[in-house]
Amino acid sequence: MSAAMSLADLGVVPQAVIDRLRRSRVLSTSDVLRCPIARLARVLQAVATQDEVLQWQAICALLEVSGMKLDWAVALARRTGTSARDLELHAVSRLLQDLTEAHQHGEVAAVPDTDTIAKLQVDATRIRCGGVVNLTVHGGGKRPVSGAIVHCAGMQAETDANGRARFLRLPLGQPLPFVVEKSRHATRTVSLQAHPVQVVSGERIVLKKGRPAKKAVHRARSELDGHVVTVPPGTRIRVVEQPGHALRAGDVLYLAARLQNGELKLSSRYKQVEGGAVIVPCWRMPAGTLPQDAPVRGSYRVTPQGLKPVVVTASTMARWRLARQIRAELRLKATSPKGRWKPRRKRPRKPRAASHEARMAYGMAALQTLGRPGASSRPRKRLMAVRRKGRTNGFDSAQPICRHVRPDDGRQNPVGRHQPDRRNRKRLHCLWR
């Protein structure tokens, strides 16, 4: 997805128009495409005409095409009025002629070749046939959240200063989950309903303060690894190049095309799913990888010795996919914790109860502390529980209950000349009885 560009960087929009649009919070090329033409014409009625607004929108739409340069978009929009929607309707020779004339007048720095123009037309078709979603992320108090990362269908975008993000080339006919992540905010997942036709929809997402969710490791599900990849009806399968990735051992490739520069385009016969999109990986290999007489659509298996030609049919590929699924299932059982044998763990023994002597010693210590001011009532409850069980029927006369003992009778008496506070005296009286 092409990144949005500031209106000041276009060089074709007057400063007065930029100032007027800034008041309406229209700052980038994506914002121009989000606004209806009637609203823009109403805002700029005294500064620009409707034809100029349409021309600026056409330039912004052309810049969303992957590989499009600014001078090419300005030349196509000014000379022929071409926009991203009707770019595919023009012939390659017509577009090449228009860009050549613009280059002669100094409007274009370099003229693209026919392959580049064809790629621009293909991507413009993908934009026209896919869905478009405009998102706005708000925080507390309806304030826009800038810098939030939004993931959907294997693509990601970052919200701008107004909390806005724009997604193109989305698949139709299936629900789309959008995952919004932001530091110091709780992760939010919003699922949009499926549309059978091309619909430009808008969605407003509210983030709340909280701990962000842990980032899950999303691994690609590939038929080469033994996964089952189902393709729903109407789902578009994308061919994605793998630059910098080596060929995978055991993969089955077919020669898709011979490029003009002599390179070979090899595509895999195993599909995989990445970020909710079904893709087929492909590689660009040197011309000497295969013989000169290698037929197009011929199949080859990747081996340690190189590419080995094989004969592939529908039943052969079904048998190979099933064999890889069985192999992956056996590997999973051998390495999973449930599949491996583990020795039985011994249960830890419960700690033994305290002995009778230990309980009596605890009770005697509790009696000594009961007479002190601010003593806790927990030792008393523990001692009374011991007495109810019948494990003791008296007290040790050698240990005084209270520090203050009357000297005339010589026996333990909690009510002495120097009496403790009233609360502790009641406790000692109950224990004495």
Give tens-digit pLDDT for 27-69: 888 888 888 888 888 888 888 888 888 888 888 889 889 888 9
Query: Kind of pairing, strands 277-285 and 238-241?
Result: parallel
Mean pLDDT of 226-239: 79
Mean pLDDT of 181-193: 83
pTM of the model: 0.55
Mean pLDDT of 62-84: 86
Between 391 and 199, residue with greater pLDDT: 199
**What would the CATH number be for the domain defined by 131-206?**
2.60.40.1120
Which residues fall within 8 angstroms of residue 29, CB to CB, at 6 or more apart?
Answer: 4, 5, 6, 7, 10, 59, 60, 63, 64
Between 382 and 166, residue with greater pLDDT: 166
Please say if the pLDDT value at position 72 is more than 70: yes
Please say if the pLDDT value at position 300 is more than 90: yes
Please say if the pLDDT value at position 175 is more than 60: yes
Please say if the pLDDT value at position 430 is more than 60: no
Please say if the pLDDT value at position 406 is more than 80: no
Using CA atoms of 65, 66, 67, 69 in order, give the dihedral in degrees to the nearest 10.
Answer: 40
Mean pLDDT of 364-377: 57
pLDDT band at 200 (very low <50, low <70, confident <90, very high): low
What residue spans of 14-113 are helical by DSSP H? 15-23, 29-34, 37-43, 50-63, 70-79, 92-104
Average pLDDT, the chain: 77
- Which pLDDT value is given to residue 47? 85
Please choose, from the candidates 251, 255, 286, 257, the residue with its C-alpha nearest in 3D space to the C-alpha of residue 270.
Answer: 251
Please say if the pLDDT value at position 426 is more than 50: no
| DSSP 8-class letter at 184 | T
- Which pLDDT value is given to residue 270? 94
Picking from 12-16, 150-154, 207-211, 289-293, which range would have the lowest pLDDT averaged per residue?
207-211
Q: Judge whether 79 and 95 are in contact, CB under 8 Å.
A: no
Domain boundaries, the chain: 131-206, 221-335, 356-432
Give tens-digit pLDDT for 122-161: 888 888 888 888 888 888 777 888 888 988 877 888 888 8
pLDDT band at 356 (very low <50, low <70, confident <90, very high): low
